[in-house]
Structure 1
Amino acid sequence: MSPSKPTNGVKRSAPTSSTASPSGVNTSKTDGKRQKRDESFTRDHASTPTPAAAAAAAAAKDIGEHSNTHLQYAVDFLKAKGSPKPLQEILDHLTLQHLPEDQQRVFVHNLKSHSRVQFNPAPKSKGQQFDWRAGTYEYRAKLPGVSSKIKLLEYLQQRKDQAGLSIKDIKDGWPDCDAAIEELEQEHKVMGIRTKKDTHARFIWPDFPELHHEVDPEFRVMWFQEALPSVDEMPRKLKALGQKATSEAKTNTNIGHKAPPKRKKASRVQKKFENEHMRNIFEQHKRK
């Protein structure tokens, strides 16, 4: 039997084709889920940076948050090396070589303006373009150039004050100066103050070998064998010799010539008359 035709003459639309799996499950829904899963995996995989990119991003974040820390590490690195170093070696030591160029420029600007860093520009040649990476950096000590006995003596002679020179300031640019300072002390070119506990030098002053004279050991023995009076007997001994002890209070020699103090005038207070009827008698008596 043939299928019945529509009476109104309008053709029916063909049903949507659907492919069924042998088990009877619709594959169109499965393909849609698989496509969404693949897109999600592709998106997540694309957003995951490589290890190098992740390290660069972390370094870029750290350079902004810990710029002062990186500068201090750079200063300590230059101080430990004790010689001029190029920028690339400093960046490699701080693991900042993967930073973007603009952030490296900021780091270079801060490094050049640091008070403990000295920048040495590269020699210029004709036609050479400016290179912000060129040049070297070195540690600037508190006492620049003082790194030998000759330089230390020259620095002491150029000073205009008589204050002691701190050994701590010398070691800032010359860490192993202890042996040299001991030799200068033995040569009587410097004199110093040492700690009582470990006898380490703390401050030094310039000394002059021509003013140093050796004392006869026999005289030294005689000097220290001479007994001194006790503290209580010292003023009496000095008074017997016609001298005065420094512990006595100073007397003013001009105390006898001091002018007498001026007497203040007593303020005249007008008396209050209780007997007003006798005021005229008092005034007449005052006129006489």
Structure 2
Amino acid sequence: MSLANSLSKFRSEISDAAARNAQYSRPPSNNPASRSSTSKAGSDNNKRAHEVAFAPAPATVAPAGHAGTELLTQVFNAVKYLKEKESKPVTFDNLIGYLSLPNDAQKNIPLIKRALLQHERVDYISKAESGMGKEGFKYRPFHPVTNAEELKSYLAIQPTAQGIFVKDLKDGWPDCVPAIDQLEREGFLLVARNKKDNAPKTVWPDSPTYHILNSVTQMPQKVDAEFVEVWAKTKLPASEIEIRNELERAGLVPTSQVKEVKRFDVKRKEKRRINRKGGKTTNSHMLGILKDYSKK
């Protein structure tokens, strides 16, 4: 094959390949609106693809006979309603009426009652105790305190000195902060506060007898500035040696002083010697008084 024939064949193959590629390619449009719509459609497709990829998993339907998440929600709403009643008893019928259960959820009523009986933040009230002729429930806060007097009594019987967190008091007494501030001013509470907002954080029991009371208002008052200044200027000895020297100058004996042990001479008692020589023992000191009958 000559060189001319090979070149013509090569050109023919290139033209055929170009024709085949042209039918699968789309020429770009010169219309700006067309280009914007194309880019918008592409971004919408990408957005939909992203939403599909990161969409939450569909909720599974609980099988028949199992309430699942729905029952937990109903119990949560019931406990929340009891908490809003501020530890006042609510009959079980009123509680179920508040939940407004649909017809298909009426089967959950025994399960709700059972869950409330076992709940740690709920107390059961029998018919005799409720005074309403029906059984009921009431909310059980972290601490059974709803006023200032109850708080003082409750702190007095605490077995430890750890104090009580105010956030736990708010569980059953939401507006306890004003009462805490008043009890602190009266000297009945020791309060630890947050540095950021000065809100009370922890409370301990206190007594007005430990404070200096104002003669007029009978309220605890601050110590005089003069006393605080004298107290601040009074410095303790820096070391044990200085403390010992101060005590000795005051005529006191330091507990760290080595005590001298006095030795006492113990006299030994002489042992009584007993004459064990053979012979008859007589009462020699009674010779002039008693008669001798040894010969008879």
Give the TM-score taking structure 1 as reference length: 0.51
Deviation at 1:235, TM superposition (A): 5.5
Deviation at 1:141, TM superposition (A): 0.6
Q: CA RMSD in A?
A: 3.5
Give yes or no for the alignment of 1:137 onto 2:140: no
Q: In structure 2, the residue corresponding to 1:172 is in which secondary structure?
A: coil
Partner amino acid for 2:72? N
Whole-angstrom distance in 2 between the partners of 1:121 and 1:198: 44
Give yes or no for the alignment of 1:117 onto 2:122: yes
Residues 70-219 of structure 1 aligned to structure 2 (within 5 Å): 70-82=74-86, 83-96=88-101, 98-99=103-104, 102-123=107-128, 134-144=134-144, 146-213=145-212, 215-219=223-227
Whole-angstrom distance in 2 between the partners of 1:192 and 1:79: 26
Sequence identity of aligned pairs in percent? 31
Deviation at 1:87, TM superposition (A): 2.5
Deviation at 1:220, TM superposition (A): 2.8
Partner amino acid for 1:103? N
Whole-angstrom distance in 1 between the partners of 2:242 and 2:140: 63
Q: In structure 1, the residue corresponding to 2:203 is in which secondary structure?
A: strand
Q: What residue number does 2:285 align with?
A: none
Whole-angstrom distance in 1 between the partners of 2:67 and 2:99: 10
Give the direction of change, closer, same or farther, for the CA distance of 1:85–1:240 in structure 2 (3 Å limit): closer
Whole-angstrom distance in 2 between the partners of 1:163 and 1:207: 13
Q: Report Cα offsets for 1:138-159 as digits up to 9, x if no partner.
A: 1111112x11111111111111
Q: Report Cα offsets for 1:164-184 as digits up to 9, x if no partner.
A: 111111111111000111111
Give the direction of change, closer, same or farther, for the CA distance of 1:202–1:171 in structure 2 (3 Å limit): same
Query: Which structure 1 segments of 5+ residues have no match?
Result: 1-57, 125-130, 244-288
Deviation at 1:202, TM superposition (A): 1.0
Query: Which structure 2 segments of 5+ residues have no match?
Result: 1-61, 213-220, 246-296
Partner amino acid for 1:199? N
Q: Report Cα offsets for 1:59-110 as digits up to 9, x if no partner.
A: x989443222221121111111222222233223333153565421121111
Residues 75 and 117, structure 1, Cα contact 8 Å, conserved in 2: yes
Q: In structure 1, the residue corresponding to 2:159 is in which secondary structure?
A: coil
Whole-angstrom distance in 2 between the partners of 1:65 and 1:208: 50
Aligned length: 175
